[in-house]
Amino acid sequence: MQLKEETTSMVKNNKNNDWIKLLLDNFIWIIVVAVFAFFSFQMPERFFTLPNFVNVLLHASVLGVLVIGQAIVLLTGNFDLSAEGVLSLTTILAMWLMAEPRTDAGGAQASGWMLHPFIVIPIMFMVGILSGWIIGMFITRLKMNGFIVTLAMQLVLRGIALIISEGQIMTGSPALFNWLGGTRIRGFPVSVGVTLLMYLVVNYLLNQSKFGRNLRAVGANRDAARASGFDPNKTITRAYMISGFLGAFAGWMLLGRLETSISSLGEGMTLETVAASVIGGVSLKGGLGSVGGAFAGVMLLSIIDNALNLMDVDPFWVQAVRGFIILLALLIEAQKFRYKPKVVHEKDERIAAVELESKA
Amino acid sequence: MNKVAIKTETVLQMKGISKAFPGVQALRQVDLTVLPGEIHGLVGKNGAGKTTLMAVLMGLQEPNEGTIQIDSTEYTSMNPTEALDAGIAYVPQHVAMMDSLTVAENILAGDLPKTKFGLVDWKKVNDEAQKRLDMLNLKLDVTKKVEGLEVAEQTMLAIAKALFGDAKLIILDEPTAPLSRAEINRLFAFVKSLKEKGASFIYISHHLEEVFEICDRVTVLRDGRVVGTENVKDIDIPKLIVMMVGEDVEDYSRESSCTDEVVFVLENLARRGYYEDINLEVKKGEVVGITGLQGCGSEQLGKGLFGLEYRGVGNVKIHGEEFIAKEPIDSFNQGLAYLPQDRYRYGLVGVRPVKENVTYPILDRLVRLINLVNRSEEKKIVDEYIEGLEIVTPNQDQPVRLLSGGNQQKVVFAKLATTRPAVLIIHEPTQGVDVRAKMDIFRIIDEMASQGVAIIVISSEIRELIGICDRILVMNNGRITEEFEKGDKATTPENILDAIEGGNNKHG
């Protein structure tokens, strides 16, 4: 009897909280809209225009693709600091494989093979996937720290790019290759459409598929995931392989837009991918969050970048202002946990108690 | 720190200590008094609250209620440094010292005498250390490295070090488990000689004979309460066992559903250092209990069979077919499921919903094309188990960590039941679970057994085992040493506890 009452009161309580929960779960989107509205009123003529909106999305596309990978790796409770290295190496490698040899003196020489983009693009993907696989092996088989492994991988990949390009700009990618990054259909960039589509599909898949369950279970509690029949090592390795693939994909996209690459391409994007994911509600501890949420983080960063650019903020100040706004967004985001149902932190204390008990 | 000076003749007076963890009241109004020059035994089953009480005393856990008075100072809260300064020293089973340094260096660590050039004066170090050890009549070679000492010597050195650090009360936590009888004698002689010199000890042990051998008084804890504090002279082992096990526990009993068909066979299973010579047959619908002291090997046996750890050598068969599990997934696929003792670590993904936790092992059965989970099918299955197991949760999407301990345990049971196992191994199923939920869990075990699952229950809850098991096996030092049948006159808590304790002595 008492049991029943307890249940019904809990259910009732829950119903009341339903809309609050919905609001809190999507709170980051409210921030995005608020920031968007703020800049729109501030600069109606420059910010609130269709071309500029397309610009914001264009800026969001390459970052967005990288963030999908980062969010997937974060869901498993790991970091990927290597993706910008993948982006750098794959673009340089692509240029080296397909660009026409230069006739002028100086500058980096391509291989002269002038491979067809349909061959080059799969090679880029394979490099990204291979890099992810190597990282996965280091972390899961050799039990190395993911933070260090991926950081080192970033340096290695960028280093190889530097060697190939001899530190020079490589330019002139073929039109067929540039289709993804450079084409617009009725003024709307293909890359933006592809990115949005990617988010829809990946978000749906990760929320509905076995692999999505697997990722989050492994990230939230690796031991329990293993004891529930998952293979954490395989899962983590796969997450890195996906992230590597997306790094290469982002490279294809960016190179298509710029038609030029240099080994330092994408420098500093790693931090942005982590920031966007976390702003979007992906837990650094793993297991919680979604790719869709991370997209809100991407949009927020893009809008801020775009607006600061339009407002002619002194370039020396841009970094600081951006950092400040990111901090503010995170601060507001963090406050929502105050209004969540009271979470009993049983895990930590109980584990401590069990551990103590087992020592006795 | 809150302290008040009081005049006193006790070394330690803990008064009305209560400590609650979410879902579990670990200590309720516990009193403990230790006199100068006393060796005070502290006994109780696993989970009785010994460790939490000591954690409070060492300042590792803050009590919700109660005061701690050490000598003449009263504390309402302490941190570990304050506890150390107040003279509380803890000597664990395996002492952590600077193994690669010498005895002398360990004794004088942090305060090594120096020559006028600022270098360490090794002669002085050794002389000083020797002098201090002589005061305690402890004969050790001060130039020997600590890693070269015997375990008992390391324990004695740790005690001596604590005393040099002006410890007033030394907690000895299961010091004899890794020791041979000769070493135990040497350790006891040393501890007794220190007692003559006025040192006080709290002695925690599962070995009741030792308590009678060395202690002056003994305090018994059960379910977080003090059952009593007695002079050792006034009681005997059976009486102490009754105090530990209790008689006021609600007893559960069930009809046996054991059949003649053998399902699960273990042949000569052995893993070096954990268990050996394990031969066991479990029949369809049978519930077999395995009990023993901590470290008797039953925990590793369970984990090894499930594939969480290395299993060792020997054959295992389910329904006559070779059973080999390198990973837990292999176990599920071959019809074996395991309920871990530590459900927070191995049992549940706390931040994820009830629904997901229940269906993790059977997702392969629930997916359609491109591995998408069939949600309506999943909801149906989960609803069935929530209803069948009476899991109290507002809905399927509630994160499991927000459920009570008993309901969390039911979620683990539901998860295992979905795999429709032929063999179920459960480890301490009622740990951290309230009385009402305990009954529910017994009912679940009974139901699964009557559906024909062969069940092994690994537990230290002897009374519960008597209630639910068809047979109870006692493990000692990795071997099955005794067997108790359901309904047999000899199957009493006292006899089983005796078998657990006694068996250990034969080997010790």
pLDDT values of chain B reduced to their tens digit, one per residue, 508 residues: 455 555 568 899 999 999 887 656 789 999 999 999 999 999 987 667 888 899 899 988 889 999 999 888 888 888 888 888 889 999 887 778 888 889 998 888 877 888 888 888 888 889 989 988 888 888 888 898 888 888 888 888 988 888 888 888 999 988 887 777 788 888 899 999 889 888 899 999 877 888 999 999 999 998 888 999 999 999 888 788 788 876 545 568 888 899 999 999 999 999 998 999 999 999 999 999 999 887 788 999 999 999 999 999 999 999 999 999 999 999 999 999 999 988 888 999 988 999 999 999 999 999 888 889 999 999 999 999 999 998 888 889 888 988 877 889 999 999 999 999 999 999 989 877 766 778 889 999 999 999 999 999 999 888 889 999 999 999 988 999 999 998 888 888 888 888 887 654 444 3
Instruction: Looking at the complex, report in whole angstroms how far the Cα of residue A339 sits from the nearest Cα belonging to chain B.
Output: 15
Asked if A13 reaches chain B (Cβ–Cβ under 8 Å), the answer is: yes
Residue keyed to tokens 């803890």 = B90
Contact between B280 and B257 (Cβ < 8 Å): no
Average pLDDT over residues A124-150: 95
Residues of A in contact with B356 (CB under 8 A): 213, 216-217
Classify residue B101 by its DSSP letter. S
Instruction: State which H helix or E strand residue B43 sits in.
Output: strand B39-43
The pair phi, psi for residue A294, each rounded to 5°, is -60, -30
Contact between B90 and B173 (Cβ < 8 Å): yes
**Residue B483, CA distances (Å) to A89, B92, B305, B454, B488 in order:** 67, 32, 21, 18, 11
Model confidence at A217, in pLDDT bands (50, 70, 90)?
Answer: very high
Highest mean pLDDT among A12-16, A149-153, A266-270: A149-153
- Given a cut of 60, whether residue A353 has pLDDT beyond it is no
Model confidence at A4, in pLDDT bands (50, 70, 90)?
Answer: very low
Q: Does the beta-carbon distance from A229 to B24 stay under 8 Å?
A: no
Q: At B271, is the secondary structure helix, strand, or coil?
A: strand
Tokens for B137, please give them.
Answer: 């009549």
Q: Which of A208, A350, A359 sits opposite B344 (nearest CB)?
A: A350
Q: Which of A208, A288, A353 sits opposite B372 (nearest CB)?
A: A208
H-assigned helices in A209-231: 210-220, 222-227
**Which chain A residue is nearest to residue B413, measuring alpha carbons?**
A228
Strand partners of residue A268: none
Question: How far is B446 from B451, CA to CA, in rounded Å?
Answer: 9
Average pLDDT over residues A137-148: 94
- Given a cut of 90, whether residue A153 has pLDDT beyond it is yes
From A98-107, A215-224, B74-83, B197-206, the region with the lowest mean pLDDT: A98-107
**Residue B209, CA distances (Å) to A185, B28, B395, B508 in order:** 87, 27, 51, 12
Residues of A in contact with B204 (CB under 8 A): 360
Q: Does the beta-carbon distance from A227 to B308 stay under 8 Å?
A: yes
Instruction: Looking at the complex, report in whole angstroms how far the Cα of residue B46 sits from the nearest Cα belonging to chain A.
Output: 7
- Average pLDDT along chain A: 85
- Given a cut of 80, whether residue A334 has pLDDT beyond it is no
Q: Which of B23, B332, B372 sits opposite A209 (nearest CB)?
A: B372
Contact between A235 and A76 (Cβ < 8 Å): yes
Residue keyed to tokens 């069935």 = B384
Average pLDDT over residues A278-301: 90
With CA atoms as reference, report the closest residue to B397 among A27, A215, A18, A228: A18
Question: How far is B92 from B159, CA to CA, in rounded Å?
Answer: 10
Half-sphere exposure of A68 (CA within 13 A, CB side): 28
Q: Which of A10, A220, A357 sits opposite B46 (nearest CB)?
A: A357
Contact between B53 and B17 (Cβ < 8 Å): yes
Question: How far is A91 from A265, CA to CA, in rounded Å?
Answer: 9
Q: Does the beta-carbon distance from A7 to B392 stay under 8 Å?
A: yes
Model confidence at A342, in pLDDT bands (50, 70, 90)?
Answer: very low
Asked if B46 reaches chain A (Cβ–Cβ under 8 Å), the answer is: yes
**Residue A333, CA distances (Å) to A93, A283, A284, A296, A340 in order:** 40, 12, 14, 12, 12
Q: Does the beta-carbon distance from B392 to A230 stay under 8 Å?
A: no
Beta strands B88-91; B3-5: pairing state: unpaired
Q: B90: left (phi > 0), else alpha (psi -120 to 50), else beta? A: beta
pLDDT at B216: 94
pLDDT at B8: 61
Instruction: Looking at the complex, report in whole angstroms how far the Cα of residue A107 sits from the nearest Cα belonging to chain B.
Output: 47
By residue count, chain A amounts to 360
**Residue B181, CA distances (Å) to B42, B184, B480, B499, B505 in order:** 21, 5, 22, 19, 9
Q: How far is C-alpha A39 from the geometric centre of its chain's CA atoms?
A: 25
pLDDT at B385: 93
Residues 6+ apart with CB under 8 A from B190: B136, B137, B138, B156, B159
Residues of B in contact with A225 (CB under 8 A): 349, 360
First to last CA, chain A: 39
Average pLDDT over residues A119-124: 96
Instruction: State which H helix or E strand residue B226 sits in.
Output: strand B225-231
**Which chain B residue is nearest to residue A353, measuring alpha carbons?**
B52
Q: Does the beta-carbon distance from A221 to B395 stay under 8 Å?
A: no
Q: Which of A13, A287, A360 sits opposite B352 (nearest CB)?
A: A287
Q: Which of A10, A220, A223 sits opposite B352 (nearest CB)?
A: A220
pLDDT at A140: 95
With CA atoms as reference, report the closest residue to B288 among B469, B441, B450: B469
Half-sphere exposure of B194 (CA within 13 A, CB side): 27
- Higher pLDDT, residue A101 or B68: B68
- Neighbouring CB atoms inside 10 A of B207's CB total 18
Question: How far is A159 from A148, CA to CA, in rounded Å?
Answer: 16
pLDDT at A346: 35
H-assigned helices in B289-336: 298-306, 328-333
pLDDT at B319: 94
Question: How far is B225 from B30, CA to CA, in rounded Å?
Answer: 6
**Which chain B residue is nearest to residue A5, measuring alpha carbons?**
B392
Q: At B32, is the secondary structure helix, strand, or coil?
A: strand
Residues of A in contact with B52 (CB under 8 A): 353, 356-357
Question: How far is B452 from B27, CA to CA, in rounded Å?
Answer: 39
